Structure 1
């Protein structure tokens, strides 16, 4: 009885889902799941497969450090909660001061408060929201970086290095020195891209919005209302058409840059991203090493490569071919009749008129089970099929999860289930076409067409950074037109931060300089404040994950989960 009376005195959460307490709880839960979940995964795997994960590194002491890091006041979850919920609280205080709801008389601080009230009254509601979130996010980024710096100092435990989602991983060789990349760089770039997209969407909405205001609709007669609805539909089509074209262009450019860096400058990309691309492309690591050696002149068909020739000779042996097929000194540098003589000696029967390494080495034995190692078309088709199967495992949950969270009963309807399945298949087709078109363009450039048309051009060029690789990089991104128009934007926003990262100066990626850190903090704060301001005052400027996350945090689960499938990606 006493326990029941005690519980009755405990205040409950307010019923309003937009209350600050609810906002803080949802923010903390979501941020903690993003940071603590990946950090705990190695501990779980070490119990399931201890030999493959190195279970000695993931002991109880390491677990306590991870929990201390993530649950502490300088952890990612608390810092993000302070940024969002603190900004909301400060914004409400600013609004109350500007409207005069908070009395400013009869206290020592009356004069400063009257000055503050005067300043706030001159600002619009959106401007007050921006200032409030600017202040809260500035404190947030300082907390996040302070916590990350503390984790770096405790470098006896490797798991403590993975503290923040979407951050740069730190090589062990750099942990003990001062020249370490910013731990929040990837997170800052993500916010920057989303904020710029919000501004662009607002601009496109303003330029395309020629439809009448909705408030005028009740005053129209029925025929005029039909005209208004038609104008609204035209406006939506214009906005979607312009946005999807911009998204496709952005994805194409970013995809080309990322793939070029994957082969020639992988250090400019996150290591996990490089590993994922390599797995999806099923490329032997010795082949990119040889391409990088060609770019620097250490591997040449004309001058030979005494120090780097082992790269492809070992690959050739592993694929079951003579080592000479991968030796640049034994391969023809140019096409024509002289190349045919060399191919006859080496036993290569499908490279008449062209030089360079045989395509069998480029294909990597992916079609060996079908006996089609020398077929460029078969290589592209089989790789596309493998990529499709792997992409379906990625995209099916992506298309299915919003429906399960929003309206799971709709999956009982056959047409809805088929729609989700077709949507996932379309996305998987886009990714598989990306992979297959890359490989086929490489073969078209160096074997099937261009190298055959210009046999006097050395394969140091055709196999170099501005030959087949450049052509493939410029081609594969065109597969984005296969994807649903509404989802092109999310794909563009996914690759854009990584592409921007490859363009940053090496000093920013290799050294944590005060100027770079200060500029990053400023970008983080401005981007964060812009996103929250847009979510509160211009929700039409957000789309995709930004729109869903903002609606979920600020308005509640129903606002975040009520949209399904394509609607969430809008």
Structure 2
């Protein structure tokens, strides 16, 4: 009976499919990592193919298909996706080499018998340090060679070039000089996890000492609760700034998602970018009136309101995109429309999660969870837009000035920076566990805005070194103190690395 209960608990944690009881224990982490990597790489592409196939079937008699649509049949496309996922230089092989290489090296060095070292007395002192160092080295070697395997795949990193001329320039430059950077996002993710592990461990030890001495203060407790929200706020600022002024520094898909969530007229963003570059200046004729002038006509506003020579500054009614002059009413409308848009995404996900253990309260719990997440996203968008209005009209002119140079300065970046600072505080709407996951999600993307997306290939060893060292820290901690690896990565490693 005890054995049956143990197996049931294991199946609940990881599923019977990933138990792999028929394989030797040393090989189970490798196979699990490959299966999970394959599923994560192939499933999103298959879902996209299915949705596109259904869309084509609905519109096949309406002559709305683009001329350059793929001629391959749906079945051929599915087979192609499944086959490419099996290539040796793809993500599934990388996962298997990383996790399997680390565990097999530890087995080869005699560490396989002690997969988790939790302060046993016989492993104290120098022996404990040596065991930890050996595990770190095994993970370092596996991480180094697995990333090199992934980097060996030919191809340039994706960029957000808007024209064929820019893409051709990339190809011409690549022909003259080799570039790297395809795996940068993966490296930054590993570095973020490693920093979180180290800082979390140091803070835990500090809290333990202070609590034992009965000196743990309310201020320190407040800091503990606010670390994740502050990390989220500090990350969202650079991300939103980059989305406005240097979108090429963000991952392509992430930049596209922000744009779709913002529901903004791109002419408005272009105008603020031209203010930033000095191309658009108040009281000076630089030929920029048609940009916002045409936008005004589309939203039922007088054309001259978009002329920077005649109107200083251009009114917030343009920012509101036809929703009236009131900044507060626009903020409320933004919240409602964004909440409704987010519910279409979050509600199906929340219902799907409740299906794991359905109860009578599952529909209500799913609705509450989806509403909360939608409120977070709606508040994020609302705070950003209202922050722009605060900087332009409500607060900025009273602090900086109302003359033409001050108005130019506000619209050249101060209004956007206000929105960038405010939007991240919406994370306080979410639960503490969600704040943790969200902080770990956005932190690597914020770091990416500070680094070039491409760099010379002869410097690639630096990225590989950073990835290997960071991954070794995370893996070592996952073996010794699994709870210290927070977020989704902690759950994945806990599922994958157990024998």
TM-score with structure 2 length normalisation? 0.80
Query: Residues 161-560 of structure 1 correspond to what in structure 2 (within 5 A)?
Result: 168-169=158-159, 172-173=167-168, 174-175=170-171, 177-178=173-174, 180-210=179-209, 241-306=222-287, 308-332=288-312, 356-365=313-322, 367=323, 373-396=324-347, 399=350, 404-405=355-356, 408-409=357-358, 411-412=359-360, 414=361, 418-451=364-397, 454-456=401-403, 458=405, 459-465=407-413, 467-504=414-451, 508-515=452-459, 517-555=460-498
Question: Does the residue aligned with 2:85 lie in a helix, a strand or coil?
Answer: helix
Q: State the 1:136 CA deviation.
A: 1.3
Encode CA deviations 1:297-319: one digit per residue, 9 max, x unaligned: 1001132321x332212211221
Question: Does the residue aligned with 2:282 lie in a helix, a strand or coil?
Answer: coil
Q: State the 1:320 CA deviation.
A: 2.1
TM-score with structure 1 length normalisation? 0.71
Q: State the 1:25 CA deviation.
A: 2.4
Encode CA deviations 1:117-138: one digit per residue, 9 max, x unaligned: xxx9896322222111111121
Structure 1 position 55 matched with structure 2 position 69: yes
State how far apart, in whole Å, the 2-side matches of 1:239 and 1:539 are: 24
State how far apart, in whole Å, the 2-side matches of 1:398 and 1:204 are: 34
Number of residue pairs matched? Answer: 451
State how far apart, in whole Å, the 2-side matches of 1:383 and 1:522 are: 45
Question: Does the residue aligned with 1:321 lie in a helix, a strand or coil?
Answer: coil
State how far apart, in whole Å, the 1-side matches of 2:196 and 2:133 are: 19
Q: Does the 8 Å contact 1:388/1:432 carry over to 2?
A: yes
Q: State the 1:525 CA deviation.
A: 1.0
Q: State the 1:323 CA deviation.
A: 2.0
Query: Relative to structure 1, is the Cα distance of residues 463 and 183 closer, same or farther in structure 2, using a 3 angstrom cutoff?
Result: same
Q: State the 1:30 CA deviation.
A: 1.1
State how far apart, in whole Å, the 2-side matches of 1:472 and 1:61 are: 47
Q: State the 1:277 CA deviation.
A: 1.3
Greater relative contact order structure (CA < 8 Å, 6+ sep):
2
Q: State the 1:510 CA deviation.
A: 3.5
Encode CA deviations 1:516-541: one digit per residue, 9 max, x unaligned: x1111111111221111111112121
State how far apart, in whole Å, the 2-side matches of 1:482 and 1:404 are: 25
Question: Does the residue aligned with 2:453 lie in a helix, a strand or coil?
Answer: helix
Q: State the 1:397 CA deviation.
A: 5.3
User: Structure 1: which 5+ runs fail to align?
Assistant: 1-12, 100-119, 153-160, 162-166, 214-230, 333-355, 368-372, 557-570
User: Structure 2: which 5+ runs fail to align?
Assistant: 1-18, 57-64, 115-125, 162-166
State how far apart, in whole Å, the 2-side matches of 1:55 and 1:121 are: 63
State how far apart, in whole Å, the 2-side matches of 1:176 and 1:48 are: 39
CA RMSD of aligned residues (A): 3.4
Query: Relative to structure 1, is the Cα distance of residues 210 and 392 closer, same or farther in structure 2, using a 3 angstrom cutoff?
Result: farther
State how far apart, in whole Å, the 1-side matches of 2:20 and 2:243 are: 51
State how far apart, in whole Å, the 2-side matches of 1:212 and 1:252 are: 29
Moved more, 248-257 or 473-482: 473-482
Question: Does the residue aligned with 1:124 lie in a helix, a strand or coil?
Answer: helix
Query: Relative to structure 1, is the Cα distance of residues 401 and 16 closer, same or farther in structure 2, using a 3 angstrom cutoff?
Result: farther
Question: Does the residue aligned with 2:490 lie in a helix, a strand or coil?
Answer: helix
State how far apart, in whole Å, the 2-side matches of 1:397 and 1:542 are: 28
